């Protein structure tokens, strides 16, 4: 194939014995030459890699978990692999993949076309779905907290991809009057981790009392058959009273089985009211609902997963005591009728009804199954088997629940699901207190990887991250059913499931923020496959299409079938995103930024990062725009990254250097800024005096970005610092972040500490006594309720640290060399110290560094400071585009 092969001495000898010509090359990092002995310079593997002489490196790590040992950080193989990655040379570390790749080269017969800067591509399909809604959940609080409570039940919901639950009223006391409702609200407010709405219970004589809190409830629940409740209503005159008195714009939900289903449908017909039938299970029930719908009645219904996936034939396996549930498990014929009438079913709902194992195995077992953590994997398995589609899941767990119950939109809320992860349901799930499941031992395909609720990472890879009390009552302050327009999901025509990072073809179109589900899953040091062209691309023409665009109706209520006119709109330029609060705004301090603004900046930066890595053009975004760089202090990363950002977006930059400007003639910063504002569209200023940039901005009609003002702030550095933490770890919440070095003069840590107050973090400070964090910063952080600790040694702070943020001791800020020498060198990070750190800790540094980080640490995978510097360009690209109103 005419490839030139190189190998280490041993590898070259092996291939030579088998007739394969391989050029031998020494390993790097050999022993130092003897003092005074002159040797001819020889090229080794390291020098070849540094010169990018190799087009591909194949190197296999040691077997038996060598990569887990600290010593593996300094092996020759590890250093070679690390250098290949750093120099963006393709690397293969698996012998099977190497064999397949070589065979592919042989079959292709030439040089394949590959993007060598993409580290890897995932084979699993990870897609983004809206946060799911379960309208039928029993959380047992108050009264039965040994079974479940708000904290454990909502944690289980998040683990199952559910971000909003409807909580049933059959507690102790039952939720049938205002005092019990207020008690439940208080307990939920303290304990819930996901969002929720509380049901009101229909009692034998409480129809007047319900009026006091009806509008704050999820709906009215009527128990018309026997179950785990004291609220059963068998008197039809009581049903009549509730139908007469319950607000007409609020839903009524009924536990109705068998013939009772026909009775409640008749009652709803008589009063011309909507009715929602809970957990339909039998053939006769679904057929009654179908006939009611066909007659024009306002009836909706739900089905529980255990009635879709279990029958009475499974009771011998589950156990007849554990198998008690209401409605009972039915026949195979009943189950098949549910599947045959899927179009009649409006919602999937778990009817999560937890009990202890001891209770379920007693002589009088209570009815009910836990289900919050198993519902979505079961449904995704049905998708894999072709029995359901992703559209079916979205419609019945997001679109229809919102429409039926009038739930508000959960902004910046979505879940990420791995469609290809196969696993076996264990004997019990992780978060519910009910330590059993009827689905134990069942093989499923599909797993929740991440849940983002209102912009916060609430769950990731098996861990619930949000605290109790994070959940919100969605009825609190809400106008119930504010719109008469039906809530619909627009889905393009049939297409194969999307690749990782692409937009799912069945993604819903929310009334206000349909672009929410277009953002690709966050990457951790890798790029993912998938077409991103629609996320950051010029507005397409009439014939354009693809996964990167959304079909958006131009007139209310139009549908593709109805012949409505549709426009293709790039997801990054959807109307709600155009309501950009950063347009033409000065960026002067980290304290001015809100959580919503941060998420907007980071989402745009993340997409721009992917586009750059995939060689996709972005030079149309700021075409014709000019940025002025006014740097009165030296700069490498900030200056160059701003200029690179502007050029990648198609704009131009003009530079003002203090040494060659009219500043030498005595011109004030304010005058210079006003003059430069006439030449450009945005100004980036660095100045040695604190607050100088702020003063300059007061005299400028163009947006000014603070690139560092002496020992004051550096807000764009703080933005990129938080961005790299999100990219490396996946979340900022719950982390312990340790700042080390010159905290008195370090403007980067001043801004970063302020910005981190928007998250739930713990801050640690390690510095010389004379270089502590300024009191005004400490007070600002304290006022935001963030925990702060001071340490005198790096070793003491390191073991619990998730992010280690080092800064240099700034010589230029000291009055004398002697004073500087007293402070420098006290805290130096070495490979030996790194052995005390967490395996997944991240090391950051705003750079430049002096001696505070040993160069040997660069080879540690946890060292992220060079990746951090690269991300500065992406964050500044996003910031420029947003400030100039182009994203």
> Active-site residues: which are they?
637-638, 665, 686, 714
| Cα gap 734→465, rounded to integer Å | 7
Closest by Cα among 303, 354, 298, 294 to 327: 303
Q: Are 788 and 765 in contact (CB under 8 A)?
A: yes
Largest CA distance in the chain: 107
CA-based R_g, the chain, Å:
31
* β-bridge pairing 463-464 and 456-460: antiparallel
Phi and psi of 423, rounded to 5°?
Answer: -160, 165
Angle at 90 between CA 87 and CA 95, to 5 degrees: 135
Q: Tokens 């207020």 sit at which residue?
A: 182
Can the peptide bond before residue 136 be classed as cis, meaning omega within 30 degrees of 0? no
Plot region of 464 (φ>0 → left; ψ -120 to 50 → alpha; else → beta): beta
Contacts of 678 (CB under 8 A, 6+ apart): none
CA 99 from chain center: how many Å? 36
For residue 83 the two structure tokens come to: 């250098």
Where b means 16+ CB within 10 Å and e means fewer, 787-816 reads eeeebeebeebbeebbbbbbbbbbeebbee
Q: Tokens 């119950």 sit at which residue?
A: 405
Beta bridge partners of 704: 683
Contacts of 255 (CB under 8 A, 6+ apart): 221, 222, 223, 224, 225, 227, 278, 279, 326
Can the peptide bond before residue 655 be classed as cis, meaning omega within 30 degrees of 0? no
| SS3 state of residue 789 | strand
How many CB atoms are located within 10 Å of the residue 234 CB?
12
| Cα gap 451→372, rounded to integer Å | 14
Q: Are 505 and 492 in contact (CB under 8 A)?
A: yes
């Amino acid at each position: 194939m005419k490839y030139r092969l190189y190998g280490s001495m041993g590898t070259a000898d092996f291939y030579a014995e088998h007739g394969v010509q391989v050029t031998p090359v020494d390993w790097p990092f050999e022993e130092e030459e003897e003092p005074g002995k002159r040797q001819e310079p020889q090229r080794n593997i390291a020098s070849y890699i540094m010169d990018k002489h190799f087009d591909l490196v194949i190197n296999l790590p040691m077997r038996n978990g060598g990569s887990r040992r600290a010593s593996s950080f300094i092996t020759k193989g590890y250093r070679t692999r690390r250098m290949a990655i750093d120099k963006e040379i393709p690397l293969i570390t698996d012998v099977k993949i190497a064999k397949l790749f070589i065979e592919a080269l042989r079959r292709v017969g030439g040089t394949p076309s590959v993007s060598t800067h993409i580290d890897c591509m995932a084979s699993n399909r990870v897609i983004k779905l809206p946060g799911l809604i379960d309208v039928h959940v029993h959380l047992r609080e108050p009264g039965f907290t040994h079974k479940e409570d708000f904290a454990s039940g909502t944690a289980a919901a998040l683990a199952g991809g559910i971000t909003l639950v409807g909580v049933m009223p059959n507690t102790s006391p039952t939720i049938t009057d205002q005092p019990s409702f207020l008690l439940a609200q208080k307990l939920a407010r303290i304990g819930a981790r996901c969002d929720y709405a509380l049901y009101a219970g229909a009692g034998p004589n409480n129809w007047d009392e319900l009026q006091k809190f009806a509008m704050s409830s999820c709906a009215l629940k009527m128990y018309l058959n026997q179950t785990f409740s004291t609220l059963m209503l068998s008197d039809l005159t009581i049903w009549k009273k509730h139908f007469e008195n319950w607000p007409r714009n609020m839903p009524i939900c009924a536990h109705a089985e068998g013939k009772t289903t026909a009775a409640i449908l008749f009652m709803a017909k008589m009063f011309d009211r909507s009715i929602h039938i809970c957990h339909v299970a039998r053939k006769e029930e679904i057929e009654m609902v179908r006939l009611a719908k066909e007659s024009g009645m306002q009836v909706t219904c739900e089905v529980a997963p255990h009635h879709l996936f279990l029958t009475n034939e499974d009771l011998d396996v589950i156990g007849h005591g554990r198998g008690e549930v209401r409605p009972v498990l039915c026949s195979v014929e009943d189950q098949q009728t549910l599947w045959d009438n899927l179009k009649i079913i409006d919602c999937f709902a778990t009817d999560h009804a937890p009990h202890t194992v001891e209770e379920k195995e007693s002589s009088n077992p209570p009815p009910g199954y836990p289900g919050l953590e198993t519902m979505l994997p079961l449904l995704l398995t049905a998708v894999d088997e072709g029995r359901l589609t992703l559209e079916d899941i979205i419609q019945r767990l997001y679109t229809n629940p919102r429409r039926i119950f009038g739930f508000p939109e959960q902004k910046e809320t979505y879940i990420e699901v791995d469609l290809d992860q196969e696993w076996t349901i264990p004997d019990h799930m992780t978060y519910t207190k009910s330590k059993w499941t009827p689905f134990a031992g069942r093989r499923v395909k599909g797993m929740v990887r991440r849940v983002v609720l209102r912009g916060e990472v609430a769950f990731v890879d098996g861990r619930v991250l949000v605290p109790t009390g994070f959940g919100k009552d969605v009825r609190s302050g809400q106008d119930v059913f504010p719109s008469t327009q039906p809530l619909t999901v627009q889905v393009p025509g049939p297409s194969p499931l999307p690749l990782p990072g692409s937009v799912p073809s069945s993604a819903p179109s929310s009334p206000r923020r349909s672009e929410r589900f277009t953002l690709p899953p966050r990457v951790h040091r890798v790029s993912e496959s998938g077409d991103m062209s629609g996320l950051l691309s010029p507005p397409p023409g009439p014939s354009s299409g693809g996964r990167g665009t959304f079909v958006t109706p131009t007139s209310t209520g139009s549908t593709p079938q109805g012949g409505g006119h549709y426009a293709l709109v790039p997801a990054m330029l959807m109307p709600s995103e155009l309501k950009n609060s950063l347009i033409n705004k000065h960026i002067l301090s980290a304290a001015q930024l809100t959580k919503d603004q941060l998420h907007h900046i980071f989402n745009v930066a993340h997409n721009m990062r992917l586009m750059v890595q995939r060689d996709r053009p972005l030079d149309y975004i700021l075409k014709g725009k000019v940025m002025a760089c006014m740097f009165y202090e030296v700069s490498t990363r900030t200056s160059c990254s701003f200029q690179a950002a502007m050029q990648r977006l198609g704009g131009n930059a003009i530079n003002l250097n203090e040494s060659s400007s009219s500043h030498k003639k005595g011109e004030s910063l304010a005058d210079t800024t006003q003059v430069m504002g006439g030449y450009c569209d945005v100004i980036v200023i660095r100045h040695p005096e604190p607050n100088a940039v702020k003063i300059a901005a007061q005299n400028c009609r163009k947006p000014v970005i603070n690139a560092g003002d002496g020992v004051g702030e550096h807000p764009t550095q703080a933005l990129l610092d938080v961005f790299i933490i999100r990219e490396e770890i996946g979340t900022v919440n719950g982390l312990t972040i340790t700042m080390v070095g010159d905290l008195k003069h370090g403007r980067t840590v001043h801004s970063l500490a302020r910005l981190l107050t928007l998250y739930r973090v713990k801050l640690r400070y390690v510095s010389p006594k004379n270089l502590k964090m300024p009191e005004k910063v400490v007070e600002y952080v304290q006022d935001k309720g963030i925990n702060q600790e001071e340490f005198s040694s790096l070793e003491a702070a390191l073991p619990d640290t998730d992010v280690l943020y080092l800064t240099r001791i700034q010589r230029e800020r000291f009055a004398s060399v002697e004073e500087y020498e007293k402070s420098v060198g006290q805290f130096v990070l070495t490979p030996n110290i790194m052995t005390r750190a967490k395996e997944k800790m991240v090391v950051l540094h705003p750079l430049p560094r002096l001696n505070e980080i040993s160069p040997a640490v660069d080879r540690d995978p946890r060292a992220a400071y060079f990746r951090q510097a690269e991300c500065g360009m992406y964050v500044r690209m996003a910031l420029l585009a947003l400030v100039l109103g182009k994203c």
